[in-house]
Amino acid sequence: MDFAWSREQEELYTSVQTGVQRIDCTPDQVWTRTHWLQCGALNLLGLSVPENYGGKGYNALTTARAIEAFGHNCKDMGLVFSAAAHLFACAMPIADFGEEDLKNRLLPGLCKGTLIGANAITEEDAGSDIFAQKTSAVQEGETYILNGHKSYVSNGPVADVLVVYAVTNTAHGYLGLSGFVVEKDTPGMIVGQPFNKMGLTSTLACQISFHNCRIPLQNRLGHEGQGYQIFKRSMHWERSCLFASYIGLLEFQLEQSLAYTKKRVQFGRPLGKHQVIAHRLADMKLRLESARLLLYRACWLFDQGKASNLAISLSKLAVSEAAIQGGLDAIQIHGATGFAREHGIERMLRDAIPSTIFSGTSEIQRDIIASEVGL
């Protein structure tokens, strides 16, 4: 197996690193449309969208490499998360399953940043158990009538385009779920107030309600009953490529911790020369490289069209849990400096904690892994 990056991939990584450093965003403050347009100008909002719709057409592995650079160099992990969620859970379902007219109308704007995308599947009583959702869509002539409530919709308060999942036939189980595109200002759609969150604070999230929303038939994604397949594929994109951003964060965190332990002197020698600290840094490096290899393998299998469910769950679990432990280690290494909010060390932990919840919890990933190994 060749572990070398191509020249194009290396140039992409470098250009993303350089470009995102120029985005003047402030962590813990909501990102703006200007920041979003800058992401669009850097092609970060359409990395994996086919070129004929305004994207770059990269495969999962190349896309993940770009997202890793984004996570490494961007000041605001919330902006990184918002952009990745927009791409993998909204733009890609439209690119993979939308009708041609829908793709031509929406994807160029989603790629350029003139439109903001969101995904709405979670409900108060249907999180990991997506088949417990109550939102319904009933066909009436050339429209569907949408009713229900979605919760924790990332980008929801500012979204122009939402991919929404609803039950179209309660008797058909997982074949009774369908996907729809709902556009901003659709009559009957009510956008709630943003939630307060402990991490990824610049990413606005809210509840969205639908009261007799009429959705054009052409805004359905794929066939009726294909919703679970659409959602599963979008999760393959998200669980592999989005989590590359946390690989970038882990690498930045390690670099920052190493630099600190070389200049900080305690008991007459640099902090990093104390074995207890050196071993903690070694463990941080081990988790980073292990998670990185799992993620790259998952992306490669996905690109090859090979069975990737197990690899993607292993990767998602390893990356997200490494991110939390890395955050704890960085705080411990920096001591009081790590605990003080003005230095930004503790924010990396706050931004890491939701990674074990969104895109399928760690418990769900372990269930998938257990099933894939025959349990």
Beta bridge partners of 250: none
Nearest 5°: CA angle at 202, between 162 and 83?
45
Report the distance separating Cα 231 and Cα 133, nearest Å.
Answer: 14
- Secondary structure class of 266 (helix, strand, coil): strand
CA distances from 72 to 248, 298, 340 (A): 4, 20, 21
Phi then psi for 123, rounded to 5 degrees? -130, 165
**Rounded Cα gap, residues 38 and 24, in angstroms:** 10
Using the 8-state DSSP alphabet, how is residue 47 labeled? T
Residue 117 β-bridge partners: 161
Phi, psi angles (nearest 5°) of residue 175: -85, 5
> Angle CA(369)–CA(374)–CA(375) in degrees, nearest 5?
80
Task: Give residue for tokens 């639908």.
Answer: 210
| 51 classed as catalytic | no
Which helix (H) or strand (E) is 126 found in, with range? none
Query: Which of 68, 123, 224, 238 is an active site residue?
Result: 238
Q: What 3-state DSSP class applies to 143?
A: strand
Helix or strand or coil: residue 99?
coil
Span between the terminal Cα atoms of the chain, in Å: 30
Active site members: 238
